[in-house]
Homo-oligomer: A and B are copies of this chain.
């Protein structure tokens, strides 16, 4: 049955072409701003210039080089600078990794307890306060722009953990679809696959009769199917870009997760593949989800049939619908140029054994029934390299 829930999402979304110009309305004039960014694409696509122009008159320092799968080590270097420079406002400019890293920084900068990996990322300490964050997002994918989640990696130990807390909501996020025109095709494809999988984690569990949440989830999946290929084929299709950006945002902003069970085992196993193998986040998900669907076929049967009927508009017997659901999911990832076989990424027994060891050590158990443990993860990973 429809579960009780609380929903409050305070993020101000500023959406559309030219919206970077609205920055000064949303950052206090006397702020000491730290602009954080990633590999430097914001210089080649003109976004850095737009941001700096909008921030004329502000006291701004910059910190670049935040990686995809942002690392604790890099972020702590940024935290040191921000502390020394008495930064009062963080402006993340880039994709979900930059914003995730900046969310961590917002809590770490004023934190005085030390050991930020355990205390903040692993949530051993109670969060005290956080610096305000604004974002100029340039990549539709993670949904970080409208949620309170951040995923941080540690180079030293090849670990990757998610943190979530209401203090991590950005105050505002600016999404201008035109800033995404110049993204490499691989990043666009990854973004589509990431958003698609986010929806599946919140949708493909078991039915609780939550009709709005199901319809919304199905609508996002249909939109991603409709615009994914279009965006890759025609990078300057504003409408497709806008739909993709908004789809990625609402895929993980709390609107479809209220009152329903959630899975997230695909992400938990996928995070290990990224941590150990450096596989792109979205690709790690594409390796796991279709095999997890087959592994949990009985538990997920009702929702798989609904998914086949409503999202893919298939018809047939229950068995045909379930098979069709799995095959269409595989085909969708592959149509984006993303292989779904673990073999394609060189995953072998050594990786699987390490993941099993980690899950056992941590006593991990994920999924909507809490039964995706070390053994289940191992079975799913073995299925992924069997093909």
Which A residues fall within an 8 A CB radius of B? 1-19, 209-212, 214-216, 218-220, 222-223, 226-227, 238-239, 242-243, 246-247, 250, 255, 258-259
Contact = CB atoms under 8 A, between A and B. Distances in A.
A211 B238 contact: no
B5 A16 contact: yes
Contacts of A218: 215, 219
A14 B6 CA distance: 5
Contact of A215 (B9, B11, B219, B258): B219
Contact of A10 (B5, B8, B15, B209): B8
Given A5-B15, A6-B12, A246-B259, 6 more contacts: A4-B17, A210-B243, A211-B219, A212-B250, A215-B218, A216-B219
Contacts of A259: 15-16, 242, 246
A215 B211 contact: no
A226 to B, nearest CB: 6
Contacts of A258: 15, 246
Nearest to A6: B14
A240 to B, nearest CB: 8
B209 A239 contact: yes
A26 to B, nearest CB: 10
A13 B9 CA distance: 10
A207 to B, nearest CB: 10
B10 A10 contact: yes
A5 B13 CA distance: 8
A261 to B, nearest CB: 15
A242 B242 CA distance: 32
Contacts of A242: 2, 209-210, 259
A138 B313 CA distance: 37
24 contacts: A4-B15, A4-B16, A4-B17, A4-B18, A4-B19, A5-B13, A5-B16, A6-B12, A8-B10, A15-B259, A16-B259, A209-B242, A209-B243, A210-B242, A211-B222, A211-B223, A211-B226, A212-B219, A212-B220, A216-B216, A219-B219, A246-B258, A246-B259, A255-B255
A132 B16 CA distance: 32
A218 B222 CA distance: 13
Given A211-B223, A212-B220, A239 B2 contact: yes
A124 B250 CA distance: 36
Contact of A239 (B1, B8, B15): B1
Contacts of A255: 255
